[in-house]
C-alpha cells in the first residue's frame, strides 16, 4: 500500500490489526525456532505490538521497524518507557530502550544486517499482491545463513483490496521456495472459512 494509507490509518486510529495480548501462536511456536537469547530478533512492520515486549524478555536485542511515528511513540508511551532517540544517516529515527530498538521509517530502505531470527505477524499480510514479491525478496536477504523466520498468515474470503490480505498456503510455498519451510499450525474459525496459519521458515546454513 502507499505509505500515506498507513499514516492515515494510524492518524485516525483505525488499527483493528493491533492486538492487546501477545499472539498465542508466537507463544506456542517461538520455541520451534530454537532461539538463543543472544540472537537478535527482527520484527518488520511492528506497529505498537506488545509481542515486542514478550520477545524482549527472551532476547538481548529486538529490532522493530515501523513506518508510522505515531505507532512508535505510542508503543513507548503506553509501556511507560523513555527511549534514547537518534537519527541515522539513512534518515530513519531510532528509538532505543534496554533490549528494544524501534526504527521509524520505510522498512525497505532501513539499513539492516542479516538477522538470525525474524518474526512476521503483520507484515506479509499487509503487502498488496503487487508488493508481495518485493517484500519476500527483501526478507530473504535479511535472513542470515541458518536464520529462522516465524511467519503468521491469515486466510479468509476477501471481498476487497484492502489489508490485511488473505494468504493461502500456496502463496507461502511459492514465496519461500528453496528454503526449508514447514506449516506448524492451522487455526480455523468456527465458520470454517477463515483462520490463521503459523509457518517456520529456515535458511540454509553457510
- pLDDT by residue, tens only, the chain of 206 residues: 466 665 565 455 555 565 789 999 999 999 999 999 999 999 999 999 999 999 999 999 999 999 999 999 999 999 999 999 999 998 999 999 999 999 999 999 999 999 999 999 989 999 888 999 999 999 999 999 999 999 999 999 988 888 889 999 999 999 999 999 999 999 999 988 899 999 999 999 97
C-alpha cell at 87: 537519527
CA 131 to chain centre: 15
> What is the predicted pLDDT for the residue at 90?
87
> What is the predicted pLDDT for the residue at 162?
82
158-171 residues labelled b (16+ CB within 10 A) or e (exposed)? eeeeebbbebeeeb
Q: Which domain holds residue 52?
A: 3-13+22-202
> What is the predicted pLDDT for the residue at 163?
85
Helix intervals (H) in the chain: 3-11, 24-29, 51-56, 69-78, 129-142, 169-175
Structurally, how many domains does the chain consist of? 1
As annotated, the binding site for S-adenosyl-L-methionine includes 10, 45, 66, 121
> What is the predicted pLDDT for the residue at 8?
66
- Sorted by sequence, the CB contacts under 8 Å of residue 101 that are 6+ apart come out as 61, 62, 63, 64, 94, 95
> What is the predicted pLDDT for the residue at 65?
96
> What is the predicted pLDDT for the residue at 98?
97
Nearest to 140 by CA among 104, 80, 106, 181: 181
**E strand segments, 45-110:** 62-66, 84-87, 93-97, 100-104
CATH code: domain of residue 159? 3.40.50.150
Please, are residues 143 and 119 in contact by the beta-carbon 8 Å criterion?
Answer: no
Flag whether the pTM goes above 0.85.
yes
Secondary structure percentages of the chain, helix, strand, coil, to 5:
30, 30, 40
> What is the predicted pLDDT for the residue at 177?
95
As annotated, the binding site includes 10, 45, 66, 121
3-state secondary structure of 104: strand
Amino acid at each position: 500500500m502507499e505509505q500515506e494509507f498507513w499514516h492515515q490509518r494510524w492518524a485516525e486510529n483505525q488499527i483493528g490489526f493491533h492486538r492487546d495480548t501477545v499472539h498465542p501462536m508466537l507463544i506456542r511456536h517461538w520455541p520451534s525456532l530454537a532461539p538463543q537469547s543472544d540472537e537478535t530478533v527482527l520484527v518488520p512492520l511492528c506497529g505498537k505490538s506488545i509481542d515486542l515486549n514478550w520477545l524482549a524478555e527472551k532476547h538481548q536485542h529486538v529490532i522493530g521497524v515501523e513506518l508510522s511515528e505515531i505507532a512508535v511513540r505510542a508503543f513507548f508511551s503506553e509501556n511507560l518507557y523513555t527511549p534514547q532517540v537518534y537519527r541515522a544517516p539513512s534518515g530513519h529515527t531510532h528509538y532505543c530502550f534496554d533490549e528494544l530498538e524501534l526504527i521509524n521509517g520505510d522498512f525497505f530502505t532501513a539499513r539492516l544486517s542479516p538477522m538470525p531470527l525474524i518474526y512476521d505477524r503483520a507484515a506479509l499480510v499487509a503487502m498488496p499482491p503487487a508488493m508481495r514479491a518485493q517484500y519476500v525478496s527483501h526478507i530473504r536477504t535479511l535472513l542470515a545463513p541458518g536464520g529462522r523466520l516465524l511467519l503468521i498468515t491469515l486466510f479468509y474470503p476477501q471481498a476487497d483490496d484492502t489489508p490485511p490480505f488473505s494468504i493461502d498456503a500456496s502463496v507461502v510455498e511459492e514465496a519461500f521456495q528453496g528454503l526449508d519451510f514447514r506449516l506448524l499450525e492451522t487455526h480455523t474459525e468456527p465458520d470454517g472459512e477463515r483462520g490463521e496459519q503459523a509457518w517456520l521458515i529456515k535458511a540454509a546454513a553457510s
